[in-house]
Amino acid sequence: MHIDIVSVFPQYFETLTLSLLGKAREKGLISVEARNLRDWTCDVHHAVDDTPCGGGAGMVMKPAVWGECLDELLGLEASDISENAGYTTFCQAVQSGRNVKISRKYEAREGTVLIFPNPSAPLFTQNDAKELSQKKHIIFGCGRYEGYDARIPRYYETRGVDVREYSIGDYVLNGGEAAVSVMLEAITRLIPGFMGNPDSIIEESYSGEDSLLEHAQFTKPARWRGMDVPEIYMSGHHAKIEAAKRSESLIRTSNIRPDLVERIHCEKLSEEDRKTLISQGWDVSGEHPRKISAER
């Protein structure tokens, strides 16, 4: 996988050469290049932003600079798409949330994805990370200040590029850099050969069919500062240990992330799972669990 990161603070990504990501680079699984957006400016001030149309606070990143940069990284020729009859319909459809197929005059390369971190976009999830770990080329465009001109992602969509915008959570960051390093770590650790022990990926939170939170972990000694590892974990009874872990996952998820329990398909639950969820006040007779009361 090749990764390009475009930012006005490319130094932010120097730490990528360290840590696990650094090892994957050494092994040749991925190559990463952090690029300075200002290298694509052609004015003396190297300006990348301008005041927002319609007023308001802050500055917005200019489309022209991003256009020069992304054309080069995507290997596309600049073009004026106002002639493309599909474009207006496409913009209207995007604004109204309809899904339309546009006539693609140019096909961008298969396996290339352009990602813009954006706090007003859909949430980035483990499923997105999994899907993106199969791609050949990912370009991240880090916005700073109040954001970027909304025509930038739309333009590349009409050019046939797979464009995504993601938020990493319900809080505000100053720019996309931290969000990109979060997405990058979630994606790259799923590339085959990246992790020392692939089993730990299968077991962890959010990765299974039903995305439950993981059970707590313990190691030796069995007693530390007067605190014991739960007896069941020391019993050596494999089936009982697995059942205890599963039940703890369900209870923990019920307490901390009931929204994840609501997404479970009841038909996939075992008899034991049902008992556990019922004990936590869930009705499991429908398609998905429904909270009906406090714990019993």
Q: How far apart are CA 48 and CA 107, in angstroms?
A: 28
Closest approach of ligand 6GU to the CB of residue 101, in Å: 27
For ligand 6GU, the closer of residues 10 and 141 by Cβ is 141
Closest approach of ligand 6GU to the CB of residue 176, in Å: 5
Question: Which residues are at the interface with ligand 6GU (CB under 6 A)?
Answer: 117-119, 166-169, 171-173, 175-176, 179
Nearest 5°: CA angle at 151, between 147 and 155?
Answer: 130
What is the identity of the amino acid at 227?
M
Task: Give the phi and the psi of residue 222 in degrees, each rounded to 5.
Answer: -65, -30
Closest approach of ligand 6GU to the CB of residue 119, in Å: 4
H helix intervals, the chain: 19-26, 63-74, 86-96, 126-132, 151-158, 177-188, 199-203, 231-234, 238-256, 258-261, 271-279
For ligand 6GU, the closer of residues 10 and 117 by Cβ is 117
Closest approach of ligand 6GU to the CB of residue 188, in Å: 17
Q: How far apart are CA 123 and CA 114, in angstroms?
A: 16
Q: Which residue is nearest to ligand 6GU (CB)?
A: 117
For ligand 6GU, the closer of residues 52 and 86 by Cβ is 52
Q: Is 41 exposed, middle or buried (0-12, 13-18, 19+ CB in 10 A)?
A: middle
For ligand 6GU, the closer of residues 16 and 264 by Cβ is 16
Closest approach of ligand 6GU to the CB of residue 146, in Å: 9
For ligand 6GU, the closer of residues 166 and 233 by Cβ is 166
Q: How far apart are CA 242 and CA 140, in angstroms?
A: 40
